[in-house]
Amino acid sequence: MHHFRGKLLDGGRVRLDPANVYVLFHATAGGPDQGWYGYLLISSGGDVDPGGVYTLTLTDGRSGSLRVDQVTPEDSVGFRATFVGEGPLR
């Protein structure tokens, strides 16, 4: 998994800053873009909503939309929000 930092946005509203995100990339059947999925480490279970679609903007300039699948307790920081990328991360 690759660790990145950035911001998580809900429309124009900042939901997480900084966002600590862990991403895995995979090949897609439909073309040259990579698929991606992973998790965010969050302090509160209410920081994001399961089923919610957010924009992730990384400090390296890439951004993309993600959909949160579930939020579960995480011993070290509070909660883990697993997600799937919706389209490319560029």
Q: Where are the domains of the chain?
A: 2-86
β strands within 11-62, DSSP E: 13-26, 35-42, 53-58
Q: CB-based contacts of 59: which residues, under 8 Å, 6+ apart?
A: 4, 5, 6
pLDDT at 6: 98
| SS3 call for 53 | strand
pLDDT at 29: 74
Give me the residues of the chain with pLDDT under 50, please. none
Q: pLDDT tens digits, residue range 53-71? A: 999 999 999 999 999 999 9
